[in-house]
Amino acid sequence: MEYIDLRSDTVTKPTPEMREAMVEAEVGDDVYRDDPTVNKLEALAAEKLGKEASIFIPSGTMGNLLALLVHCQRGDEVIVGSKSHIYLNEAGGMSALGGIQPCPVPNQKDGRLALGDILASIRSEDVHHPITRLVCIENTQNICGGVPLTAEYTRQVGEVAHKNGLALHVDGARIFNAAAAQNVDVKELVAPADSVMFCLSKGLASPIGSMLVGTDKFIARARHLRKMLGGGMRQVGVIASAGIISLEKMTIRLGDDHARAKKLADGLRQIDGIVLDDGSPYTNMIYFTLADSLPLNAPQTADKMKELGVLVDPDAWRRFRLVTHYWVDDAAVEKTVSAFKKVLS
């Protein structure tokens, strides 16, 4: 059966154009910096984000870890959101591999970290204290609903960080969704950041890969550490070629995914017992709860949806997150609404 897959935007398979580019890609040994396709992708990513340099990495998790390892020394502390991917979903890499301590501050409902909370978390000079080195924010903020943070908020966080001698890292796994939703240039969204990680492998539909961007000096150090972590890849132009298409063509179509998320949410809202989160969807993610009046819980609902050809992932016992992406078209949206109606009625 050909499934409609709404579990995540990470499930996106390469487009036919990407597959063609992958076959034709010019390649070389990227550890020697000899891969022309990777070099082109890295130059393009740096240019698009308005930073000096960038590096191609296998995953977003490695990109965030590299950023933390470059910004911090062992024993340093990083201010992170309590609902951030870096804090919750990266296997404790910063502590295990970097000796870095997270200082979680609450994510507000709208995804922000309150500026007062950031300020209050910065450690004073004291032999007992770790040294606060870095603030991390996530844009879009996944767990808070795929909510985009504004350029103005990011400017304010940058100001607080820099005034206090800290760096700012943006986990921008879906930064192009944030830019599309607010109709701003991605450069503006990340201007205050010292480093940014973004993923090619999510809404931008590449099969593999993320980018880390920053200054020349920052990226040179990240390149050394990427090798240390075993992330120095060889003839990787084969996948960088898809990344170039992601940046040139897929970034400008994300509005379609957001429009379809709205259409899907509108359909779901009509079904008795589906309670959408306030404001959802902001971008390509729809979060909703199943009312207690419904006999099925989320895992049971997901099993029945699968029988009807729709893959959905329970986010909790009575809760779902659905994600639209390149491979979800208008017909898939309609079919999903009908399937939910059938399963829950």
Ligand X SMILES: Cc1ncc(COP(=O)(O)O)c(C=O)c1O
Residues 61-100 that bind ligand X (CB under 6 A): 61, 85
In the complex, what is the shortest distance from the CB of residue 61 to ligand X, in angstroms, rounded to a whole number?
3
What are 19's two structure tokens? 């597959």
DSSP secondary-structure letter at 191?
Answer: T
Contact window for ligand X (CB under 6 A) among 56-64, 156-164, 220-228, 240-248 = 56-64
Contacts of 203 (CB under 8 A, 6+ apart): 9, 12, 174, 176, 177, 250, 254, 257, 284, 325, 326
Instruction: Select 133 or 202, whichever has its Cβ closest to ligand X.
Output: 202
Buried b (16+ CB within 10 A) or exposed e, 179-197: bbbbeeebebbbebbbbbb
**Choice from 80, 166, 199, 343 touching ligand X (CB under 6 A):** 199
Which residue of the chain is nearest ligand X when measured via CB? 60
In the complex, what is the shortest distance from the CB of residue 8 to ligand X, in angstroms, rounded to a whole number?
7
Which helix H or strand E contains 200, and what residues bound it? none
Strands (E), the chain: 4-5, 53-57, 76-81, 101-105, 131-138, 167-171, 195-199, 210-214, 274-276, 285-290, 310-311, 313-316, 319-323
In the complex, what is the shortest distance from the CB of residue 201 to ligand X, in angstroms, rounded to a whole number?
6
Instruction: Select 85 or 318, whichever has its Cβ closest to ligand X.
Output: 85
* 113 belongs to the binding site for ligand X (CB under 6 A): no
The sign of the dihedral angle between the CA atoms of 242, 190, 73, 65 is negative
The site for ligand X, by CB under 6 A, has a size of 12
**Choice from 177, 210, 280, 336 touching ligand X (CB under 6 A):** 210
Residues 130-189 that bind ligand X (CB under 6 A): 138, 142, 171, 173
Instruction: Select 37 or 61, whichever has its Cβ closest to ligand X.
Output: 61
Binding site for ligand X (CB under 6 A): 10, 59-61, 85, 138, 142, 171, 173, 199, 201, 210
